[in-house]
Amino acid sequence: MSSAIAFEEPVPFVEENIMKPLSEEQEEIMIKDEALHSSENPKELENPGLSSGTFLCPDSEKCLSTIASLCKHRRVDVGEKPFACSECGQCFRRKKELTVHERIHTGEKPFACSECGKCFRRKDELTVHERIHTGEKPFACSECEKCFRSNGELTNHERIHTGEKPFACSECGKCFRTTGDLTKHERIHTGEKRFACSECEKCFRSNGELTNHERIHTGEKPFACSECGKCFRIMGDLTIHQRIHTGEKPFVCSECEKCFRTNSDFTVHQRIHTGEKPFACSECEKCFRSNGELTKHERIHTGEKPFACSECGKCFRTKSDFTVHQRIHTGEKPFVCSECEKCFRTNSDFTVHQRIHTGEKPFACSECEKCFRSNSELTKHERIHTGEKPFACSECGKCFRTKSNLTAHERTHTGV
C-alpha cells in the first residue's frame, strides 16, 4: 500500500529530551502523532486517494494541509480535549487552559493588582479588576448605552433587553439570565448554604449574601448617595433610594397603572388585585399580603414595641408610627397643602385634608348613606346606628362614642 499521509519526524529519543519537559506545541504534536499512528484511525491509511502531505481527520473526514492544522481542527471542530486534570479528571482542549484550571486546586493566584494587592488566577481577571481602579468601562450596550467593565457583564445585561434566560433549573424549570443566578437558585433545592458568617455562624447560599450580611457586624455602608450622602450596606438599596431623587418608578401595574419604585412593593400591590394573602398569623389565622404586615400584626399578640422614643420613652410597634411620633418633638410637618399651605405631620392627615378642597367623601355609611372624608369619621358615625360606646370613664363608668367626648367628660371629675 502506498503511503498517502506524510508524518512529521518524531522527536528523537535521547536522554536530553527525557529530562526536559516538552513545550505546549511539542506536547500537542506528540499526542496527535500518536493518535494518527494508532489503530483507532484506520481511514488515514486506507484512503490512497489523498495527495502527499495531506492529513485526514478520522472523525470528520476533513482533509488538512498540516499536522498543526489537524491538531487545531480536532480540538475546535471535533471537540477533542486531550489535556486532563489529575485532580478532578476535567479535560481541556489546550494545555494553558489546564494550567489555569489546576490553580483552583493549588490555590495559586499569580496575577496581583498593583493598586490594592488583590490576586487572581488569570490575567484577564486581573485586567477586568484593574478597571475598578481606572474607571474604564469599554463595553457599551447598544440599546441603552450603559457601559460595563467586561464583555461578560455586557452579555448578561443585554439579556435584560432581549428577555433571554438561557440557564434553566433541572428541578423546577425556572430560567435565569446568568449561570451564577442559576447556581444560587439550585441551592434552594439542595439546601446548601456553604458560606458561613464567622461572627454569628449564620449561613448563606452565596458569597455576595454573606458579604452583605457581614456589614451588619462591621457597620460598613460603602454605597453613598451622591445627592444626599446617605449610605447603604448594599448596592441594591442605594439604587432603590436614588429613585426617591429621580422620581423613577419602573414597576407598572397592568391592572391600574400605578407605579412603584421597588419590585417588592409592586409584588405586594398586585395582591390587591388577585386577593392573595399568603402570610397567615399563627395565633389568630388572620392573613396578610406581605410578611412585613404580618410581623407588625404579630406584635399585637406579643405586645412587642421595639421602637422607643429617646425624648419621652414612649414605645411603638412600627417604625412608621415611631417616625410620625418623633415629629411631635421636632415640630416637623413635611406634608404641605398646595391650596392653603397648611402643613401636616402625616401623609394620611394630609390626604384627608385635601378632600376639604376637592369635596371628595369616599366613605359612605351602609345604613343611611351619609358620606365622610375619612374612615375614622365613618367609624364614629356608625356608632350612632350600632349604639356602641367603647370609651368608658374610669371614675364613674359612663361610656362615650368618641375619645374626645370621654376626655371632655373626665374634666368634670378633675376640675381641669
Residue 119: phi and psi, rounded to 5, are -110, 155
Tell me what pLDDT residue 74 has: 66
43, 37 contact by CB (below 8 A): no
Tell me what pLDDT residue 49 has: 43
Pairing of strands 91-92, 83-84: antiparallel
Low-confidence ranges of the chain (pLDDT < 70): 1-53, 59-60, 74-79
Tell me what pLDDT residue 40 has: 42
C-alpha cell at 236: 441594591
Nearest CA-CA partner of 45 in 81, 102, 2: 2
400, 409 contact by CB (below 8 A): yes
C-alpha cell at 245: 431623587
Eight-state DSSP code of residue 308: E
In the beta sheet, which residues pair with residue 148? 139
What's this model's pTM, rounded to 2 decimal places?
0.48
Nearest CA-CA partner of 382 in 393, 396, 392, 371: 371
CA dihedral 148→151→153→157, nearest 10 degrees, is 90
C-alpha cell at 199: 461572627
43, 56 contact by CB (below 8 A): yes
What is the rounded CA–CA span in Å between residue 206 and residue 192?
10
Tell me what pLDDT residue 2 has: 40
